[in-house]
Amino acid sequence: MQDFPAILNNPVLLVALFACVLAQLIKVVVELIQHGKLDFRSLVGTGGMPSAHSALVTALATGIGQTSGWDSGTFAIAIVFAIIVMYDASGVRQAAGKQARILNQIMDELSQGETKFTEDRLKELLGHTPVQVIAGAALGTVVSWIAAPTY
């Protein structure tokens, strides 16, 4: 536990976390522009523009590439990790969100009859569109390149 403060001195980690937080803050602004109201739930929610997951993992991978070298094994691990996270965000989780939307619609239609459901509605905004993932990846990369002098 004595090495815990050293974690806070890791500039690559701090920049990656900053990129994630920045993406979440941008989501609030995007929600304000699109819907004309502040929705602070988007600070902790999934989905939306840009993808905070993508910003986090691309800032991490870029920072590792900048510090360890683009030909290092560590960068290879980071980029594969980033690809898996972004694929999951735009593919698997988006499909789960679509399924949730359809199931909620079925529940709504069946509830109009005598059947009453005791289950809560499913969360529909789970994943990202490819554009949201690309925007998050671009944000993470730019944040890491801007922070490069701190490495």
Structural domain that includes position 145: 4-150
Distance, CA of 17 to CA of 64 (rounded, Å) = 14
Closest to 59 (Cα-Cα) out of 67, 1, 118: 67
Per-residue model confidence as pLDDT tens digits over 93-120: 666 667 777 777 777 766 676 666 666 6
Closest to 51 (Cα-Cα) out of 96, 7, 91: 91
Instruction: State the helix-helix crossing angle for 11-35 and 52-68, rounded to 10 degrees.
Output: 150
More confident residue, 131 or 119: 131
The pLDDT of residue 3: 80
Structural domain total, the chain: 1
Mean pLDDT of all residues in 22-44: 85
Whether 83 contacts 53, CB under 8 Å: no
Where is average pLDDT lowest: 5-9, 13-17, 19-23? 5-9
pTM: predicted TM-score of the whole model, two decimal places: 0.78
Closest to 12 (Cα-Cα) out of 58, 81, 73: 58
More confident residue, 32 or 90: 32
State the DSSP string of 70-81.
Answer: TTSHHHHHHHHH
